[in-house]
Structure 1
Amino acid sequence: MPVTALVSAKSCGVTTAALACTLASKRPSLLAECDPAGGTIRAGFLQGEVGAGFGLYHLAAAERTGPDALAQAFASHLWPMDEAGHRKVLPGLTDPAQAAALGRTWPALSDVLHVLAEEAGYDVFIDAGRLALESGHLHPVLTPAPLLHQADLALLVVRGTEQSLTLARHVIDPLRTELAERGSGSDALGLLLIEDGPYRAHQVAEALKTPVLAGLPFDPPTAGYFTTGGRPPRGYARSPLLRHARTATEQLEAAASRRQIQQQYPACGTNPQIAGVLQRLTEKGGTRG
């Protein structure tokens, strides 16, 4: 199953999108809240049930002990998001000042997430927060760069508004170059569109010269519940956000599968006929617009 990292140029609903996909997945799933600016799920969706003694920051000390200690700490710091425990979250930082301690932890954490996806069959989503650049590259402290480098898919979350597209234009090319030079390849880059604003998927893809791999509707009641907690809105399980998130997870799995096959068999990407067959075999619904 894929490891998918979500980032934005500015607040565009990364955490909400990651939560929706994690909760809507048909398989066991995990959300790793790795925003260096600090996590919001603990105080919002989890309604303060999880204290500061639990979560991402505590993996840094374990990693310094060794990989086995990190793996054990990782497992013990996952919090269930449903009664069956099929959906879990690794709560994020409680203080942005903690981010500096995680510099050497990110690569080891990435390895653990990929083992969980590949060996245990989890859908893994990473909330990487707001993209920060330094001298044209991902900032070593303010962005969890190794998680983006090694992700099967790196999604820039955008809205269909002029403001969101303007901000995204400033980061899309540096992110693409970063993935090409230091990551698993520029073909890992895609867009996740929050359908808020006048621009449709094909217009967004054309403006940013990047494919829209999935879309989610603008659903303020459900997004508000994810952000602040409290009582779920009426019809929550059938809300537009969760219904379309189920489709989005399928689209992302299909995109990751196409990419994996193209890496194994490079001719698939250069032969139009083969590429067309591959597209049809792996498609599971298209993005609206």
Structure 2
Amino acid sequence: MPVTALISAKSCGVTATALALTLASKRPSLLAECDPAGGTIRTGFMQGTTTTGYGLYHLATAERVGPDALAQAFASHLLPMDPDGHRKLLPGLTDPTQAAALARTWSALAEVLHVMATDAEHDVFIDAGRLALEAGRLHPTLTPAPLIYQADLVALVVRGTDQSLMLARHLIAPLRAELDEHGSGSDALVLLLIEDGPYRAHQVADALSVPVLGALPWEPAIAGFLAGGGRVPRGYGRSPLLRHARTATEQLEALAQRRRIHQQWPQPAHAQIAGVLQRLTQAQEAGHG
């Protein structure tokens, strides 16, 4: 199963989108709330049902003890989001000043999340919040850079508005360069479109030169519930937002699988054949010589 990091250029509904994907997946799923600006799910969607004794910040201390301590702390700080425990949440920071303490924890956490994806077969979604750059690089404190670098896919959440596309456009080139240099390649970058605004998926893909992997309907009542909690809206379980989110999870899995195959066999078949033919030709010419 893939590890997908969700980011935005500005507040574009990353948390609501990450929640929709986690809750809609057909497979067991995990949402890691890793926005350095602080998490909102425990007081929003979870409606304060958990205390600050649980969450991301506690992993920093465990990581300094060692890998076993980190793994045990990670497991003990996962909260169920459904009665069966198929949807799990790692709650985020309650204080943005805690983010600096996680600087050396992100890489180790990325490895744990990949174990959850590959060995425990969970769809893993990372709410990485707003992308912050410094001198064309991912900011070392305001962005969980190692989680983004090591993710199978990086999904930039955008809206179909001029403002959202303008802000996203300035991130594309440096983000691609960072993924090529430190990640698994710039082809890990995709878009998730919230259909709020005049522009459709093909127009957004053309404008940003990045494929739109999923388009989620703009349903303010459902998105507001996911982002802020409160009373469950009528029709929540059958909402178009969750139906399209489920489709998006399937698209993410399919793309991640294609990328894995491509990385295992990086040379296209025709290039391999061309190389064989070239060697045969050279051998024949040497024999005639």
TM-score class, shorter-chain normalisation, is over 0.9
Partner of 1:131: 131
Partner of 1:279: none
1:177-225 C-alpha deviation (Å, 9 max, x unpaired)? 1000111111111111111111111111111111111111111111111
Quick one: which amino acid aligns to residue 42 of structure 2?
Answer: R
Question: Partners of 1:270 and 1:31 in 2: how far apart?
Answer: 40
Deviates more, 1:124-133 or 1:212-221: 212-221
Quick one: which amino acid aligns to residue 173 of structure 1?
Answer: A
User: Are residues 239 and 269 of structure 1, via their aligned partners in 2, closer, same or farther at CA, if it must alter by over 3 Å?
Assistant: farther
Partner of 1:83: 83
What's the secondary structure of 2:92's corresponding residue?
A: coil
Partner of 1:176: 176
Quick one: which amino acid aligns to residue 145 of structure 1?
Answer: A
Partner of 1:116: 116
Alpha-carbon deviation of 1:270? 7.5
Partner of 2:287: none
Quick one: which amino acid aligns to residue 216 of structure 2?
Answer: L
What's the secondary structure of 1:115's corresponding residue?
A: helix
Which residues of structure 2 form unaligned runs of 5+? Answer: 272-289
Larger radius of gyration: 2
Partner of 1:213: 213
1:148-200 C-alpha deviation (Å, 9 max, x unpaired)? 00000001100110000000011111111100011111111111111111111
Partner of 1:44: 44
Question: Partners of 2:142 and 2:270 in 1: how far apart?
Answer: 37
Q: How many residues align?
A: 271
Partner of 2:257: 257
Quick one: which amino acid aligns to residue 64 of structure 1?
Answer: R
Calculate the TM-score normalised by the size of structure 2. 0.92
* Preserved CA contact (<8 Å) 1:25 1:249: yes
Structural mapping, 1:195-234, within 5 Å: 195-234=195-234
Which residues of structure 1 form unaligned runs of 5+? Answer: 272-289
Calculate the TM-score normalised by the size of structure 1. 0.92
Structural mapping, 1:26-175, within 5 Å: 26-175=26-175
User: Are residues 268 and 194 of structure 1, via their aligned partners in 2, closer, same or farther at CA, if it must alter by over 3 Å?
Assistant: farther
Partner of 1:7: 7
* Preserved CA contact (<8 Å) 1:262 1:269: no
What's the secondary structure of 2:158's corresponding residue?
A: strand
What's the secondary structure of 2:119's corresponding residue?
A: helix
* Preserved CA contact (<8 Å) 1:137 1:178: yes
User: Are residues 135 and 241 of structure 1, via their aligned partners in 2, closer, same or farther at CA, if it must alter by over 3 Å?
Assistant: same
Partner of 2:243: 243
Task: Say what the alpha-carbon RMSD is for the aligned residues.
Answer: 1.1
Alpha-carbon deviation of 1:265? 1.4
Quick one: which amino acid aligns to residue 251 of structure 2?
Answer: Q
* Preserved CA contact (<8 Å) 1:149 1:182: yes
Q: What is the identity percentage for the equivalent residue pairs of Structure 1 and Structure 2?
A: 75
Quick one: which amino acid aligns to residue 141 of structure 2?
Answer: V
Question: Partners of 1:213 and 1:266 in 2: how far apart?
Answer: 22
1:124-160 C-alpha deviation (Å, 9 max, x unpaired)? 0000000000010000000000000000000110011
User: Are residues 268 and 123 of structure 1, via their aligned partners in 2, closer, same or farther at CA, if it must alter by over 3 Å?
Assistant: farther
Alpha-carbon deviation of 1:269? 8.8
Partner of 1:18: 18
User: Are residues 224 and 270 of structure 1, via their aligned partners in 2, closer, same or farther at CA, if it must alter by over 3 Å?
Assistant: farther
